[in-house]
Structures are given as structure tokens and as C-alpha cells.
Chains A and B, each alone.
Chain A
Amino acid sequence: MIESIKSFMGWFFVTGDPMIYGADASIALVSIGIVAVLTYFKKWKWLWDEWLTSVDHKKIGIMYILAALLMLFRGGIDALMMRAQLTLPNMHFLDAEHYNQVFTTHGTIMIIFVAMPFIFGLMNIAVPLQIGARDVAYPFLNALSFWLFFMGAMLFNLSFVIGGSPDAGWSSYAPYAGAEMNPGVGQNYYLLGVQISGIGSLATGINFLVTILKMRAPGMTLFKMPMFTWSILITSVIVVFAFPAFTVALALMTIDRLFGAHFFTIAAGGSPMLWANLFWFWGHPEVYIVLLPVFGIFSEVIATFAHKTLFGYAVMVWSMVAISLLSFITWLHHFFTMGNTAPVNAFFSISTMLIAIPTGVKIFNWLFTLNKGRIQFTTPMLWALAFIPNFTIGGVTGVMLAMAPADYQYHNSYFLVAHFHSTLIAGTVFGIFCGLHYWWPKMFGYMLDETKGKWSFWIFMISFNICFMPMYFLGLMGMTRRMYTYPAGLGWTPINVVMTIGAVGMGVGFALIAYNIVWSAIHGNKDKTGDPWGGRTLEWATASPAAEYNFAHIPEVSTRDAFAAMKEDKGVFTTKTAKPYEPIHMPNNTGIPVIMATFMFIAGFGCVFEWYWMAVPGLIGIVICMIARSFVYDDHHYISVNEIKRTEAGTGRLS
């Protein structure tokens, strides 16, 4: 009996590596610490009422961003571990298996659990405010999306200490990711964790699509929307059409692994190439899902701090529409070398190069917006300005990779790794840091410190170039991705040392951002006006942080850059405040999303270990939650006029 328990524990928990024991201890300590603090300060009820059950888009956005920052920390530690292992030849810091797990979790976490939730967080904060709405179209679904993402991320991260991490790369190619060559639970964690959070992403796409189409303030036609809202509208369309392919691919591989089907194995007539095909049919649009929103952020920030309207508004919109159409016909360029026929490679080579045209148009539009502008070098503006040249390098090397014959040389080398980090860091990461600094006062009512913000920007941006510029040359010298060590004497060592220095510098830059957040929470300047940057769009028309109902009166819009126009024409403001308040209709908080996502976690964990005694009750719990929700009739409340008056007077908006 005791023997069998012992052998179970040895298999259930990851053992043998001192770093994992360290992680076990720190996870246990942090969990005990959180429980102790919440209990000591009697904050459980506050946590439940104010956050866990909230359907307020602003709070959900904050939770998204908080979770994404934590995941960024985890993914960054993974990156530093890889760089430590590769600094010098023949290192034994990580063994081959552990290294494979680390690059797999690094990629998956950075794309699915950092880039996407961070963007979802920023769009939750900004989009309803920018369009003058009081919430998203489906507040309940919004909370459910967040909790599904969160539980998916937690399930995926659990693999680190329980059962073992996936090791087939973030793209998880069959046949290596199949049951035969990759036994154990690691790959199941990938499939279930990503699937659960993917359902949440799909729901977010639907939610924001409907929100933007249906809930704009009166007078705000589509072509008067702020550019960030436009980018989210188009991103939502891509999410809605791209994610189902991934959902299906993940489900098919789950069926392969759990129930012995053969969709992706040759054995019974399946096709391993079909996995790569389906994965990238989602995977390439996914690139634009994480890039278009930051294009939107940069458009807002550049226009605000150049003190000009955005150059070429309509062209910006149509280039994003073109990108959304083209993004669905380029996916093969991720596997040019898989043995496709020449006409196939030629078609996808050309379609890939075509997508550089609308992207280039956008780059020039940002430059023309800056032209003759009165440029103010704030922290968000620095991130936006650094984005333009750094991202362009990633774009140009992308066109180099798009040439199918040349790709046979670059394929799977560090040249490729450098390329996609140039786009995803200089694009997405610069963008989310830009948006974080820009909208931080709107989220919390105080500014992030500018001096520390600029220091963190320069350290991060320079270190990024120290890390990834040499990487292109390392790739051309022949080093391939995913190799866990290399022999001495190939001339790779000096470049690897430099890259590790850059990686550490990026870690320092991120740590400084985290320090700035903590420091500014205590000492930061309060934002009393609600418009600290001289913003042009409606989110700056309300208080910082915005009241639960966002706007006491829904603003009326007659032009682009609606708030800039209101500030010029003071009359609009005075007539608006003269109107009497009316009770505001708002959705009720509900605990069902977090409970339902917890059942999803239980069902997912059961499926990972093929414990159906656990998975089936989890699935039943999900169905019960759905039924329970369908009987909730009392799902809204009204905020009384007195309360609105109190809130508005508290922010100095009632004279």
C-alpha cells in the first residue's frame, strides 16, 4: 500500500531536479502567503465581491493584465534559463529534456498566456470607454472568457510541478506530439490548457465584435471610431474565424492521444502534415491577432503625442482590412520545406510578400503623422517611436524569409528566431508596454513615474537589440533553433555570450517596470483631471479611474477624435452637464463564471491524467452552471440618481 502510494507520488510530482524542488517550495510559500494575508486582513469577501464575481470590463481588464504580467515573468524566466544554458558551449545547466520543456513552455506562455491576455486586458479597459459605452455587449461572457483564460493558464503552468511539462515545442508538431512518441501527460497539458483558454479567446472575439458594432455612442459611425477600436474590431473578426481551426486541431489531437484515434498518425491513414496545416491556419492569423491591436495602440499614442490627427485614417482602416483578408492565405510559409509542390510554395511566397504592402502603408502613415507634429517624448511615445524602426527590421527579414527558395537556407535557424522576436517583441511587447503606460492612469487614477518609465524603456529597448541583432548573424552562421547545446570551435560562442547579456538586460528592464508599478502605487502623481496626456478620444472624457457606469451621460459624437473636438468646442461640455441624470442600468455581479471555469479546470485536469472519474463530474458541473445561469432572471440593477451625483461630485465633475 505504502509502496504504491510512494510510486504514485514519484510519478505524479515532477522529481529529481533541484530547481523544480525550489519551484515547489516557492509555489507552496506564495500560496500560503496569499491565503494568510487575505485571512489576516479579512479580505476574502472583498476579493469575492469586488473582483472574482465582477462583470465590470475595467476590473476584468485589470485582472487580465495582472495575470499576463505574472505569466510574462514566468515566460521571461524560461527565456533566461535558455540563455543561461546556451551562453557557453557544452553547458550542463539544463539537460536536453528539460531544455525542450523550457522552450515549449516559453513559446506557449508568451503567445497564448502573455500576448493575448495582455491585449484582451487593454481592449477591455479602453474599447468600451472609447466608444462611449457603459460595458461590453455580454458582460457575463466577458467574465467567463477571463476565467477560462485564467484556468487554462493555471492548468498549463501546473505541468511544471505535477506530471511533467510538454516538450514538443509551442507548435507541437505531429507525429512527435502524438501518444506513441510522446507518452506521459505533458502534451495533454498543452492540449487541454490551450483549449480551455482558447474557448475564452473565441468568446472575447464575439463579445468585442458585437460591442463595437452595436454599442457605439450616438453619432459615432464606423468611420468616426478611434483607430484602436477599429483595430480591435478587425482583430475580433480574425479571432472569430481563425480560432475554430485551432479548437478543432486541438480536439483532434486530444482524441488521438486520449482515445487512440489516428487523425495525425500515418498508422491508420491519418496525416501528420495535417496538424502543421491546421495549426498554422490558426497560427498565422494569430500573429495578426497580437499585432493589429498594438498597431491601434501606436496609432492612438502617436497621434496624441504628436498633437495631430492621425494621418491617412481611411487608409489605415483599409490596410487593416487587407491584412485581415491576406492573413488567412499565407499560412503555408511556416512549412515551405515540408515537401509541397513548387506552385504551392510560389503562391504562398507571393501572398506573404503581399502582406508587407498594407503593413508598409501603415508604417508610412505613422511617419507622416509625426511629420511637422509637436512631438512630446513621454514614456508611451518612446515605446511607440522605438517600435517603428525595430518592427520594420522584423518585417523586412520576414520578406526575406518569405522567399521560398531562400527559406530552405533560413528555415529553423536562429535567423528565423530573430525574425519573429523582432516582430513580436518590437511589435507586441513594445505595444503592450506602450498601452500599459498610456492607459495606466485611466485604470488606477495615478501616473506611472516618467523617469523610471524612460529608464526601463531605454534599458529594455537597447538590451533587446543586443540580444536579437546578433541572433540574425548567428542563424546565418548555421546555429539552428531548439538545440540544447553546441560544441566549441564553431565561432558561435562570442555571439551567444553577447545575446545572454542582452537577455539579462531585458530582464532588468522588465524588473524596472515592475518596480515602477510598485513605486508609483505609493508615490505616483494622482490624475485628477481624467485627461493627463491631453488625449483625443473619449476614454479621456471621463474620470480616472472611470466610475462603474463609465459615463454619467453617454457622450454624443459628431467627428473623429471626439474628445479633442469637445475640448475645442467648450459649448458641448456645458450643455451636456446641464442635463439631469437618470438611473443607469448595469449588469449584476455573478459568481457563475469563476465557478464554471473551475469546473473546466477540474475536467481538464481529469482529461490530462485520463482520470475520467474526475473529468466527467467536471463536465457535469459545467452543464449545471449553464443551466443555473439560464434561470437567473434578476441579472441587472439600476444605479440611482443620488449615487451618480455622489460619484460625480467625488471626482469634481458636478458643479
Chain B
Amino acid sequence: MNENQNQVTKQTHAAFPWKQVIGLFMSLALTFFALWIAVGLSLPVPVTITIIVGLAIVQAFIQLFMFMHVTEGTEPVHQLIGILFGIYVAFVVVAGTLWILAYAL
């Protein structure tokens, strides 16, 4: 370890960031597609929700692979713990909210 290098300074400016640009357009497309399904079509509510949730999962993978360098890094265990904690929190907030508000829905 070079003790005087606090940050990664060697940035490569050579290649055009195709991955990020494609990711940007794909996430924009997915977002507007979801909006169109909810606003533009009048599908039954469960169908709409199913499609939107499906699109959201695709969106999450695009974020992870196109922008967030999930395949890189020296300590994959950090990524794993982070993703597991994220799944835990997402499950808790969705399942908990549905359970808590079940009487009111």
C-alpha cells in the first residue's frame, strides 16, 4: 500500500463510457415505460402493480451493473452484506406496511 496515496488518482479518460450511457438510456426508458403503464393504460390494478414491480427489479439490476460497479472491488463480502441488508430492509418495509395497513386497505 502506498501510504501517501489517499485516493485513487489514476483515472482513465481514454474510452467513451458506453456502459454508463447505455445504462442511462435504459433506466430512462424503463422509468417512462412504467409511467405509461400506470397512466396511459387502464389495466387492472394487480396487473399494473405486477408489471411495475418487474420493471423496478430490472431497473435495480441496471443500476447495480451499469453504474455501481457491483462486479468490481477487492472485498466482495462487503457487496454481499450490503445487498443482503438491502433486501432485508426492503422486505421489512413492504411486508410490514402491508401487514400494518391491512385493516385500512
Contact = CB atoms under 8 A, between A and B. Distances in A.
Interface of A: 133-135, 137, 213, 215, 218, 237, 241-242, 245, 271, 273-274, 277-278, 281, 325, 328-329, 331-332, 339-341, 344, 553-554, 582-587, 636
B97 A274 contact: yes
Interface string B1-43: 1011111010000000000000000000000000000000000
A329 B3 CA distance: 42
Given A328-B92, A331-B96, A584-B6, 20 more contacts: A213-B78, A218-B1, A237-B85, A241-B89, A242-B89, A273-B100, A273-B104, A277-B101, A278-B97, A281-B97, A328-B89, A328-B93, A332-B96, A339-B103, A341-B103, A344-B100, A553-B3, A582-B4, A586-B6, A636-B9
Nearest to A556: B3
B57 to A, nearest CB: 17
Contacts of B92: 328-329
A281 B93 CA distance: 7
A233 B9 CA distance: 25
Contacts of B75: 213
Nearest to B86: A241
23 contacts: A133-B6, A135-B6, A213-B75, A213-B78, A215-B6, A237-B85, A242-B89, A245-B93, A271-B105, A274-B101, A277-B101, A329-B92, A329-B96, A332-B96, A339-B104, A341-B102, A582-B3, A583-B4, A585-B6, A585-B7, A586-B6, A587-B7, A636-B7
Contacts of A213: 75, 78
Most buried by A among B5, B88, B93, B100: B100
Contacts of B104: 271, 273, 339
A332 B9 contact: no
Nearest to B103: A341
Shortest beta-carbon contacts, A-B, top 5: A554-B3, A241-B89, A134-B6, A582-B4, A328-B92
A273 B96 CA distance: 13
Interface residues of B, number: 24
Nearest to A213: B78
A325 B6 contact: no
Contacts of A277: 97, 100-101
B7 A340 contact: no
Nearest to A133: B6
Contacts, number: 65
A304 B100 CA distance: 45
Contacts of A329: 92, 96
A643 to B, nearest CB: 13
Interface in B75-100: 75, 78, 85-86, 88-89, 92-93, 96-97, 99-100
Contacts of A585: 4-7, 9
Contact of B85 (A241, A586, A636): A241
Contacts of A584: 4, 6
Most buried by A among B1, B9, B96, B102: B96
Contacts of B9: 585, 636
A340 B99 CA distance: 9
A133 B7 CA distance: 11
A553 B1 CA distance: 13
Contacts of B7: 137, 585, 587, 636
Contacts of A586: 6
A553 B97 CA distance: 51
B99 A344 contact: yes
A566 B67 CA distance: 42
Contacts of A274: 97, 101
B100 A332 contact: yes
B19 to A, nearest CB: 17
Contacts of B97: 274, 277-278, 281
A483 to B, nearest CB: 28
A242 B100 CA distance: 18
B6 A273 contact: no
Nearest to A340: B100
A583 B103 CA distance: 65
